[in-house]
């Protein structure tokens, strides 16, 4: 039997989660235009933050910029890069209590060598049960 979205063995049926929205700046334009590096980095940081990565897809744009999307058992993550200004938008939503989306964002900022990190955390679903 497969699990429904937003369920893990620790939190079956829990309709709650954390949505981390971040802006990273002061990042190398070369890294922000490196599709393979970004795919690998996003997958790695999500795994380190206890998320279950199902698939990572990406699209490189011309003349520059990359979007990477990760499908997670716990929900999703995305990055949208702007090499021309050394910045990236990051969005990580995980439901349940096992995965740590804020940690994933911090690890990604570290991997990219971001000079500045701005985050907003939105508690979603049933507030009293969210991590």
* Token code pair at residue 3: 């699990």
46, 111 Cβ separation under 8 angstroms: no
Tokens matching residue 131: 């991590």
Tokens for 123? 């508690």
Judge whether 6 and 15 are in contact, CB under 8 Å.
yes
List, by residue number, the catalytic residues. 75, 80, 95
Going by C-alpha positions, the residue among 108, 116, 100 that lies closest to residue 41 is 108
């Amino acid at each position: 039997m497969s699990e429904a979205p937003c369920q893990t063995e620790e939190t079956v049926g829990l309709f709650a989660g954390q949505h981390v929205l971040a802006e990273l700046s002061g990042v190398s334009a070369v890294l922000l235009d490196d599709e393979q590096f970004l795919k690998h980095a996003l997958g790695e940081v999500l795994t380190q933050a206890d998320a279950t990565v199902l698939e990572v897809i990406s699209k490189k744009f011309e003349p520059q910029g990359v979007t990477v999307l990760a499908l997670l058992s716990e929900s999703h993550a995305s990055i949208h890069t702007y090499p021309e200004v050394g910045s990236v938008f990051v969005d990580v939503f995980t439901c349940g209590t096992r995965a740590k989306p804020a940690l994933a964002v911090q690890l990604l900022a570290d991997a990219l060598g971001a000079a500045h990190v701005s985050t907003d955390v939105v508690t979603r679903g049933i507030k009293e049960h969210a991590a």
